[in-house]
Protein backbone atom coordinates (compact mmCIF):
# COMPACT_ATOMS: atom_id res chain seq x y z
CA UNK A 1 0.00 0.00 0.00
CA UNK A 2 1.43 3.35 -1.05
CA UNK A 3 1.71 6.25 1.34
CA UNK A 4 1.06 8.90 -1.31
CA UNK A 5 -1.92 10.31 -3.13
CA UNK A 6 -2.49 13.18 -5.56
CA UNK A 7 -4.99 16.00 -5.26
CA UNK A 8 -6.16 19.09 -7.09
CA UNK A 9 -8.06 21.96 -5.53
CA UNK A 10 -10.32 22.84 -8.46
CA UNK A 11 -11.20 26.25 -10.00
CA UNK A 12 -14.51 26.60 -8.12
CA UNK A 13 -12.69 26.31 -4.78
CA UNK A 14 -9.67 28.47 -5.68
CA UNK A 15 -12.07 31.08 -7.12
CA UNK A 16 -14.08 31.24 -3.89
CA UNK A 17 -10.88 31.56 -1.83
CA UNK A 18 -11.37 28.17 -0.15
CA UNK A 19 -7.77 27.11 -0.86
CA UNK A 20 -6.44 27.97 2.60
CA UNK A 21 -9.31 26.33 4.46
CA UNK A 22 -9.07 23.17 2.36
CA UNK A 23 -5.29 22.89 2.81
CA UNK A 24 -5.75 23.45 6.55
CA UNK A 25 -8.28 20.60 6.70
CA UNK A 26 -5.92 18.34 4.74
CA UNK A 27 -2.98 19.09 7.06
CA UNK A 28 -5.10 18.69 10.20
CA UNK A 29 -6.17 15.26 8.92
CA UNK A 30 -2.53 14.19 9.08
CA UNK A 31 -1.39 14.53 5.48
CA UNK A 32 1.93 16.17 4.70
CA UNK A 33 2.60 18.01 1.44
CA UNK A 34 5.37 16.47 -0.68
CA UNK A 35 4.87 18.66 -3.77
CA UNK A 36 2.57 21.56 -4.62
CA UNK A 37 1.94 24.04 -7.43
CA UNK A 38 -0.59 26.74 -8.36
CA UNK A 39 -1.23 26.41 -12.07
CA UNK A 40 -3.79 27.09 -14.78
CA UNK A 41 -4.25 24.14 -17.13
CA UNK A 42 -4.58 24.44 -20.89
CA UNK A 43 -7.47 22.69 -22.63
CA UNK A 44 -5.08 20.06 -23.96
CA UNK A 45 -3.59 19.38 -20.50
CA UNK A 46 -7.01 19.10 -18.84
CA UNK A 47 -8.17 16.73 -21.58
CA UNK A 48 -5.08 14.57 -21.15
CA UNK A 49 -5.42 14.44 -17.38
CA UNK A 50 -9.04 13.28 -17.68
CA UNK A 51 -8.44 11.18 -20.80
CA UNK A 52 -10.14 8.18 -19.19
CA UNK A 53 -13.42 10.16 -19.26
CA UNK A 54 -13.09 11.29 -22.91
CA UNK A 55 -16.12 9.29 -24.09
CA UNK A 56 -18.37 10.40 -21.23
CA UNK A 57 -21.16 12.92 -21.86
CA UNK A 58 -19.72 15.29 -19.26
CA UNK A 59 -16.16 15.30 -20.66
CA UNK A 60 -16.21 18.73 -22.37
CA UNK A 61 -18.04 20.27 -19.42
CA UNK A 62 -15.35 18.83 -17.13
CA UNK A 63 -12.51 20.19 -19.29
CA UNK A 64 -14.14 23.63 -19.63
CA UNK A 65 -14.56 23.79 -15.87
CA UNK A 66 -11.01 22.66 -15.13
CA UNK A 67 -9.54 25.42 -17.33
CA UNK A 68 -11.88 28.13 -16.05
CA UNK A 69 -9.39 29.24 -13.39
CA UNK A 70 -6.28 28.22 -11.49
CA UNK A 71 -5.94 24.97 -9.60
CA UNK A 72 -3.64 23.79 -6.83
CA UNK A 73 -2.02 20.43 -7.58
CA UNK A 74 -0.33 18.54 -4.75
CA UNK A 75 1.19 15.24 -3.72
CA UNK A 76 0.20 14.22 -0.20
CA UNK A 77 1.69 11.64 2.14
CA UNK A 78 0.12 9.65 4.97
CA UNK A 79 -0.35 5.98 5.82
CA UNK A 80 -3.20 4.62 3.67
CA UNK A 81 -3.16 7.90 1.73
CA UNK A 82 -5.49 7.08 -1.20
CA UNK A 83 -8.33 5.63 0.87
CA UNK A 84 -8.01 8.09 3.76
CA UNK A 85 -7.99 11.07 1.39
CA UNK A 86 -11.11 9.85 -0.38
CA UNK A 87 -12.81 9.57 3.00
CA UNK A 88 -11.69 13.13 3.85
CA UNK A 89 -13.06 14.62 0.61
CA UNK A 90 -16.34 12.65 0.54
CA UNK A 91 -18.45 11.37 -2.36
CA UNK A 92 -17.95 12.76 -5.90
CA UNK A 93 -21.44 14.26 -5.72
CA UNK A 94 -21.44 16.70 -2.77
CA UNK A 95 -25.15 16.02 -2.24
CA UNK A 96 -24.12 12.50 -1.20
CA UNK A 97 -20.98 13.49 0.71
CA UNK A 98 -20.82 12.88 4.45
CA UNK A 99 -21.03 15.79 6.88
CA UNK A 100 -17.69 17.45 7.55
CA UNK A 101 -16.07 16.24 4.33
CA UNK A 102 -14.37 18.76 2.06
CA UNK A 103 -16.91 18.33 -0.73
CA UNK A 104 -19.84 18.63 1.68
CA UNK A 105 -18.37 21.86 3.04
CA UNK A 106 -17.08 23.50 -0.14
CA UNK A 107 -18.52 21.88 -3.31
CA UNK A 108 -21.63 22.96 -5.18
CA UNK A 109 -22.32 20.11 -7.61
CA UNK A 110 -20.98 16.85 -9.07
CA UNK A 111 -19.24 18.83 -11.80
CA UNK A 112 -17.90 21.62 -9.61
CA UNK A 113 -16.82 19.47 -6.72
CA UNK A 114 -13.93 21.47 -5.19
CA UNK A 115 -11.28 18.75 -5.08
CA UNK A 116 -9.92 15.74 -6.90
CA UNK A 117 -8.44 12.71 -5.17
CA UNK A 118 -6.74 9.75 -6.85
CA UNK A 119 -8.80 6.54 -6.84
CA UNK A 120 -5.90 4.06 -6.63
CA UNK A 121 -2.18 3.86 -5.85
CA UNK A 122 -1.48 3.33 -9.54
CA UNK A 123 -3.42 6.44 -10.58
CA UNK A 124 -1.84 8.45 -7.75
CA UNK A 125 1.56 7.77 -9.31
CA UNK A 126 0.39 8.52 -12.84
CA UNK A 127 -1.30 11.76 -11.75
CA UNK A 128 1.69 12.92 -9.67
CA UNK A 129 3.96 12.24 -12.66
CA UNK A 130 1.62 14.33 -14.83
CA UNK A 131 2.27 17.46 -12.76
CA UNK A 132 5.62 17.04 -11.04
CA UNK A 133 9.17 16.15 -11.97
CA UNK A 134 11.27 14.20 -9.45
CA UNK A 135 13.05 17.47 -8.59
CA UNK A 136 9.73 18.99 -7.49
CA UNK A 137 8.88 16.23 -4.98
CA UNK A 138 10.36 15.70 -1.56
P1 LIG B 1 -12.91 13.84 -10.07
O2 LIG B 1 -12.75 13.10 -8.81
O3 LIG B 1 -11.95 14.93 -10.35
O4 LIG B 1 -12.88 12.80 -11.29
C5 LIG B 1 -13.63 12.93 -12.46
C6 LIG B 1 -14.53 14.13 -12.43
O7 LIG B 1 -15.55 14.12 -13.38
C8 LIG B 1 -15.25 14.16 -11.10
O9 LIG B 1 -14.37 14.48 -10.07
C10 LIG B 1 -16.34 15.16 -11.38
O11 LIG B 1 -15.89 16.49 -11.18
C12 LIG B 1 -16.59 14.94 -12.85
N13 LIG B 1 -17.87 14.30 -13.05
C14 LIG B 1 -18.20 13.04 -12.70
N15 LIG B 1 -19.49 12.80 -13.04
C16 LIG B 1 -19.96 13.94 -13.59
C17 LIG B 1 -21.21 14.31 -14.12
N18 LIG B 1 -22.25 13.47 -14.14
N19 LIG B 1 -21.35 15.57 -14.61
C20 LIG B 1 -20.30 16.43 -14.59
N21 LIG B 1 -19.08 16.12 -14.09
C22 LIG B 1 -18.92 14.88 -13.60
pLDDT at 29: 98
The rounded distance, in Å, linking the Cα atoms of 66 and 69 is 7
The rounded distance, in Å, linking the Cα atoms of 72 and 20 is 11
pLDDT at 2: 77
Q: Which CATH number is 4-136 given?
A: 3.30.70.141
| Active-site residue, from 75, 102, 116, 118 | 116
* Regions of the chain with pLDDT less than 50: none
pTM of the model: 0.96
pLDDT at 1: 54
The rounded distance, in Å, linking the Cα atoms of 34 and 7 is 11
Q: Residue whose CA is closest, atom 20 of ligand 1?
A: 111
Known catalytic membership, residue 53: no
Residues composing the chain:
138
- Which has the closest alpha carbon to 62: 102, 22, 26, 10? 10
C-beta 62 within 6 A of ligand 1? yes
Of 6, 101, 111, best ligand 1 pocket probe by most atoms within 8 Å of the beta carbon? 111
Amino acid sequence: MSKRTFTMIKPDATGKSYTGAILDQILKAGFSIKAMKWIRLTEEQAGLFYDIHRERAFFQELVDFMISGPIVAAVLEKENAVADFRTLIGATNPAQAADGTIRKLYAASIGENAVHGSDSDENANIEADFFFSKLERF
